[in-house]
């Protein structure tokens, strides 16, 4: 079983995330942030993204969160696209007999909507996001739920992601991990079992 992170692993979404962040900052008369800054803010869920985006600016947080969600819902597929080789690669992995899943800290409804719009939702046995399990990565709960739904053991599963939260969740779940270097995050103190420079390398590792 191969369990994929979404943002920074399967999809390049930082442009649309930046648009939503800057629409929110505009509401509070704050200057826009660059894509590179927003890139560093992604990976721990929408609440943490909004917190970082406002940088301690005094506000009603729940109001700001609702505003951000509204902006993102209207712009989440403006420029977001699959990374190169993802569509063909996922199909090759399915043909090789792997069960595929997605686990993201992005709200679940957004995960389903984006993967459907990008034409790959049907390739996954399950798609889990914020709201589907009590806790988010780096907690192992989402991985354990995905394995439960697929009937897979930890020894049969791999977590593929671009952030130390993916690697930490995998370690806590007893699952091996692959870190993709092209994404949004860093390994931090985690030590993945494998590193890949692009998605084609991920596919070649599992289905040579």
CA distances in angstroms from 63 to 18, 32, 59, listed in the order given:
19, 19, 8
Mapped onto helix, strand or coil, the DSSP state of residue 136 is coil
C-alpha–C-alpha distance, residues 40 and 46, integer Å = 13
Cis peptide before 138, with omega less than 30 degrees from 0?
A: yes
Mapped onto helix, strand or coil, the DSSP state of residue 134 is coil
Pick the catalytic residue from 5, 7, 12, 132: 5
CB 141 within 8 A of CB 114: no
State the residue for tokens 């399990």. Answer: 133
H or E segment to which residue 140 belongs: none
Token couple for 105: 């800290």
C-alpha–C-alpha distance, residues 46 and 167, integer Å = 19
Does residue 5 have an active-site annotation?
yes
C-alpha–C-alpha distance, residues 173 and 168, integer Å = 9
> Which residues are part of the catalytic machinery?
5
């Amino acid at each position: 079983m191969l369990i994929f992170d979404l943002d920074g692993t399967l999809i390049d979404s930082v442009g649309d995330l930046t648009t939503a962040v800057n629409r929110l900052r505009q509401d509070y008369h704050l200057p826009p942030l660059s894509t590179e800054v927003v890139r560093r803010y992604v990976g721990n869920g929408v609440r943490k993204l909004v917190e970082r985006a406002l940088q301690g600016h005094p506000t009603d947080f729940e109001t700001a969160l609702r505003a951000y969600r509204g902006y993102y819902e209207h712009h989440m597929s403006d420029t977001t696209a699959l990374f190169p080789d993802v569509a063909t690669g996922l199909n090759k992995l399915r043909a090789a007999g792997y069960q595929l899943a997605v686990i993201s800290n992005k709200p679940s409804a957004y995960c389903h909507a984006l993967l459907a719009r990008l034409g790959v939702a049907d390739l996954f046995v399950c798609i889990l996001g914020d709201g589907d399990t009590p806790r988010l990565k780096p907690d192992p709960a989402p991985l354990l739920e995905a394995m439960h739904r697929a009937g897979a053991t930890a020894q049969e599963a791999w977590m593929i992601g671009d952030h130390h939260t993916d690697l930490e969740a995998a370690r806590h779940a007893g699952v091996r991990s692959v870190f993709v270097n092209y994404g949004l995050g860093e390994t931090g103190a985690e030590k993945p079992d494998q590193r890949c420079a692009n998605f084609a390398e991920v596919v070649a590792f599992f289905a040579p």
